[in-house]
Amino acid sequence: MTEAAPTVHNPLAQFEVKKIFTLPDVFGYDISFTNASLLMSLSVIAVALFMGLGMRRRELVPGRFQSMVEMTYNFVADMLTETAGADSMRYFPIIFSLFIFILFCNLFGMIPYSYTVTSHIIVTFAFAAFAFIGVTCIGFYKHGLHFLHFFLPSGLPGGIGGLLLAVFMVVIEFFSYLARPVSLSIRLAANMMAGHTLLKIMASFVGVGLIGIFPFAFILIFTGFEIFVACLQAYIFALLCSVYLNDALHMH
Partner 1 sequence: MDAEAVKLLGKYLGAGLTTFGMLGAAIGVGLIFAAALNGIARNPATEGKLKGFALMGMAIAEIMGLLAFVIAILILYVVK
The residues binding partner 1 (CB under 8 A) are: 1, 3, 79, 82-83, 183, 186-187, 190-191, 194, 232, 235-236, 239-240, 243
DSSP string, the chain: ---S---TT-TTGGG---EEE----BTTB---EEHHHHHHHHHHHHHHHHHHHHTSS--SS--HHHHHHHHHHHHHHHHHHHHH-GGGGGGHHHHHHHHHHHHHHHHHHTSTT---GGGSHHHHHHHHHHHHHHHHHHHHHHHGGGGGGGGS-S----HHHHHHHHHHHHHHHHHHHHHHHHHHHHHHHHHHHHHHHHHHHHHTTGGGSGGGHHHHHHHHHHHHHHHHHHHHHHHHHHHHHHHHHHHHHH--
Q: Specify whether the CB–CB gap between 88 and 245 falls below 8 A.
A: yes
Q: How far is the CB of 2 from partner 1 (least distance, A)?
A: 8
Q: Least distance to partner 1 from the beta carbon of 66, Å?
A: 25
187 versus 200: smaller Cβ distance to partner 1 = 187
CB of 12 to partner 1, least distance (A): 9
Please identify, using beta-carbon distances, which residue of 164 and 194 lies nearer to partner 1.
194
Give me the least distance between CB of 215 and partner 1, in Å please.
Answer: 20
Nearer to partner 1, 190 or 206 (CB): 190
Task: Compare residues 126 and 137 and give the one whose CB is closer to partner 1.
Answer: 126
Question: Minimum distance between the CB of residue 56 and partner 1, rounded to whole angstroms?
Answer: 32
The nearer residue to partner 1, 7 or 58, going by C-beta atoms, is 7
**Judged by CB, which is closer to partner 1: 1, or 160?**
1
Q: Least Å distance between CB 161 and partner 1?
A: 29
